[in-house]
Structure formats: C-alpha cells, structure tokens
Amino acid sequence: MNRQAPQRRLAAGLAAIVSLLAGICLGACVNDDTTLYEVNLSGTIDVAEGEPSGGRVHVEVLHARSGAGTLAYPLRPITDLELDGLGEFAESVLVPMENGEGLVVYAWLDRDGDGALCAPGAAPEPAGIIELEDFPAHELEVELVLTEPCAGPEILYP
C-alpha cells in the first residue's frame, strides 16, 4: 500500500503535467478559428404578376452589417447561389459568425442569360432584397418578390 501511494501520486502528477502541456499546446496552436453557422433557406422567389418570368435567378447571401465604429459597413457578401428559375427553392448556407451581423438575401432575375444585371440596350431585369430578422436560426423562410429593375443591393438596403 505504502509503495503504491507514491507511484499513484507520481502518475497523477505526470498526467496533470501532460494534460497541462497538451492544453497549452492546443491553446497555443489555433490560428484561424472559424465558426460557421448552418442556415437552411427555403421559400419562394418570384416577380410581380404579369412580368416575364423566364431566366435564371442569381441570389446573394450577405451579412447585414460588418465591422465596427467608423469602419462599419453594410452588406458584406457571404456566398452566391444560382437557381434554375423563379419559384420555390431550398438551399443550405454556412454563415461565418465572426464576420458580421444579420442576414440579407438579395436576388435578381437574369432574363437575357448574360450573367450581368442589366446592360445598355438590354431589357430591365428585376431585383429584390429581404433581411431575415429571425437570424440566427437554422431554418429560415424567404419570401421575396423581385420588383425593382436594375437595382443593386446597395440601392435597395436598408
């Protein structure tokens, strides 16, 4: 018994030292510590009644605000999506939590299929934006009607 006690203390001490070193190593090892929040977006994107509805839909997911103080700015891009057309959709997005606050979805309809929002001599392409007030939440509903022709997100927000 008496012989085992010092050995146990030694083993416990060694385990504590190893744990401490491992903790320091892990704590001192991390460089970029990124936290991504998964958001499942679902809902519908449409145009006003009577408007032409052909073409692909370009969607941009953005932070509503980013930065702090005098360096704060709106609409920091997170990711781009491309939908086959208007109507219902469901997409998953990973939102980096350190880069900004709030979540905004902007979309426009690419009627002529050139990949660019409007162009000289081309027909107007409708756009729309919506801020998802319920963020952060894993399931978010999007109901967006594209009504503003040739408008970028910076014009439509806030």
Partner 1 sequence: MIISSLLGASLLLLAEEAPAPTARDASAPLEAASTDDGAAPASSDTPGNARVGHGRGPAGVPATFTRSTALRARIGVEPSAFEGASGVSSEGRWLASATAGYPWWGVRLQLGLRHGLSPLVEVQTALARRWRPAAGLAMLWVNLPRLRIGGEALLGWLFQSGELGRRGPNAELRVRIAAPLRRVAPYIMLGSQHTLLADRTTVIRAAGEERSWSLRGEWTGWGTVGVAVPITRRVGLDLGVDLTWVDAPETIAIPGAHGGIIIGGFRQDPGASKKRRSRGKSQSRTQSGDAASARAARVMPPYAHTGASLDPVSGGPSL
**Minimum CB distance to partner 1, residue 95 (Å):** 9
- Does the footprint of partner 1 cover residue 38 (CB under 8 A)? yes
Q: How many residues bind partner 1 (CB under 8 A)?
A: 16
**Minimum CB distance to partner 1, residue 85 (Å):** 28
Spell out the residues 6+ positions from residue 47 whose beta carbon is closer than 8 angstroms to its own: 53, 86, 109, 126, 145, 146, 147
- Does the footprint of partner 1 cover residue 71 (CB under 8 A)? no
DSSP 80-142: EEEESSSEEEEEEEEEETTS-B--EEEEEEESSSSSSS--TTSPP-EEEEEE-TT-S-SEEEE
| Choice from 1, 3, 8, 29 touching partner 1 (CB under 8 A) | 29
| Choice from 4, 31, 69, 121 touching partner 1 (CB under 8 A) | 31
**Minimum CB distance to partner 1, residue 139 (Å):** 7
| Residue number with CB closer to partner 1 (9 or 138) | 138
Pick the closest to residue 61 from 86, 94, 109, 110 (CA basis): 94
**Minimum CB distance to partner 1, residue 26 (Å):** 9
Half-sphere exposure of 37 (CA within 13 A, CB side): 19
| Choice from 4, 5, 33, 90 touching partner 1 (CB under 8 A) | 33
Site residues, partner 1 (CB under 8 A): 28-38, 40, 94, 97, 138-139
